[in-house]
Structure 1
Amino acid sequence: MAANTVTLIGNLTRDPELRYTTGGRGVASFGLAVNRRYQQNNEWQEQTSFFNVVCWGELGENASATLTKGSRAIVAGRLEQRSWETQDGEKRSVVEVIADEVGPSLRWAQAQVERTERTNTGDGGFSGGGGGGAAPSRAPDPVYGEEEPF
């Protein structure tokens, strides 16, 4: 069995850009700079790697509402390669991180957690939302089942 998981900790290089598919599903993307500091021949070296991160659905909406350029974040997800052809006929390819979880790093900051209500959208997904009244009925989360996140 092949595993394709990655966990990155770094700083956002740009504000998350939130867009919506024609079906109304949110997708946010942002850049993440990951610094590595190591010693070579008794001299400190620094290397920076840049990654494009894609967050789908409610995760993308929440990331877009929470994170900004310069924020330190933790991203857990998988690597995925995407290919396309430009208008000039050139073939292009990119490897992106498709996020499963995103959160602010608390190493040098504090964060306030505001829980959003999960509701069933009818298409198997969930959407956030507030509102009073009776709690909406919802289907089990496809990953966590009936388990509450916190």
Structure 2
Amino acid sequence: MAGETKITLIGNLADNPTLQYTDGGAAVVNMTVIANEKVYDSATRAWRDGDSLSMPCVAWRGYAENIAASLTKGARVIVTGTLKQRSYQPADGPRRSFTELLIDEVGPSLRFATAEVTKASGKRPALQQAAPQQAAPAAAWPPRPTTPPATNPWPTPAMAG
């Protein structure tokens, strides 16, 4: 769609991806990617860590299950997606806004590692089928939507402007 902010982020996973299920049964995975820049310090003639960016990322449905089964804390990943900003009104405070990356593509970085790719069957793994469906806790920050985004990325004629 027009007006979307697409970015590519390269960094490391801050923690294992968290897989949950909405009340409607849709899988959702949440993970945080931390990207650190390296800065050359000419005074010490050495590289040092510069500023870092911590970006919450989210994916839905079968893609969420594949991410949770494939990636672990510390893995270096390349993530491409759409920046989304959402607001939340907690009962006990002011309105809060946050930005997250809705994942289009994600994979391991092979600069310093190797990977073995296995094509996913179309079915949920047996472990995931037995898991109870649960929504994100109401007090979690940032709050997670209870419904996944639309599966059709193309605007309908009513949306075209």
Structure 1 gaps of 5+ residues are 119-126, 131-140, 144-150
Inter-partner Cα distance in structure 1 for 2:42 and 2:112: 30
Cα deviation for residue 111 of structure 1 reads: 0.7
Inter-partner Cα distance in structure 1 for 2:124 and 2:104: 17
Query: Over the residues paired in the alignment, what is the CA RMSD in angstroms?
Result: 2.3
Inter-partner Cα distance in structure 2 for 1:2 and 1:39: 36
Is the 1:59–1:102 contact (alpha carbons within 8 Å) kept by the matching residues of 2? no
What is aligned with 1:14? 15
Q: Secondary structure at the match of 1:95?
A: strand
What is aligned with 1:92? 96
Letter in 2 for 1:31: T
Decide whether aligned partners of structure 1 residues 39 and 3 sit closer, same or farther in structure 2, where only a CA change above 3 A counts.
farther
Inter-partner Cα distance in structure 1 for 2:107 and 2:124: 17
Is the 2:4–2:83 contact (alpha carbons within 8 Å) kept by the matching residues of 1? no
Cα deviation for residue 89 of structure 1 reads: 3.2
Task: Name the count of aligned residue pairs.
Answer: 125
The higher-RCO structure (CA 8 Å, 6+ apart) is 2
What is aligned with 2:147? none
Cα deviation for residue 39 of structure 1 reads: 3.8
Cα deviation for residue 3 of structure 1 reads: 4.3
Q: Secondary structure at the match of 2:101?
A: strand
Inter-partner Cα distance in structure 1 for 2:4 and 2:41: 31
What is aligned with 2:148? none
Cα deviation for residue 23 of structure 1 reads: 1.5
What is aligned with 1:58? 62
Letter in 1 for 2:72: T
What is aligned with 1:110? 114
Cα deviation for residue 2 of structure 1 reads: 2.9
Q: Secondary structure at the match of 1:108?
A: coil
Is the 1:116–1:128 contact (alpha carbons within 8 Å) kept by the matching residues of 2? no
Matches within 5 A, 1:137-148: none
Q: Provide the TM-score with structure 1 as the length reference.
A: 0.74
State, as a whole percentage, how many aligned pairs show the same letter: 38
Cα deviation for residue 57 of structure 1 reads: 1.2
Structure 2 gaps of 5+ residues are 127-150, 154-161
Q: Provide the TM-score with structure 2 as the length reference.
A: 0.69
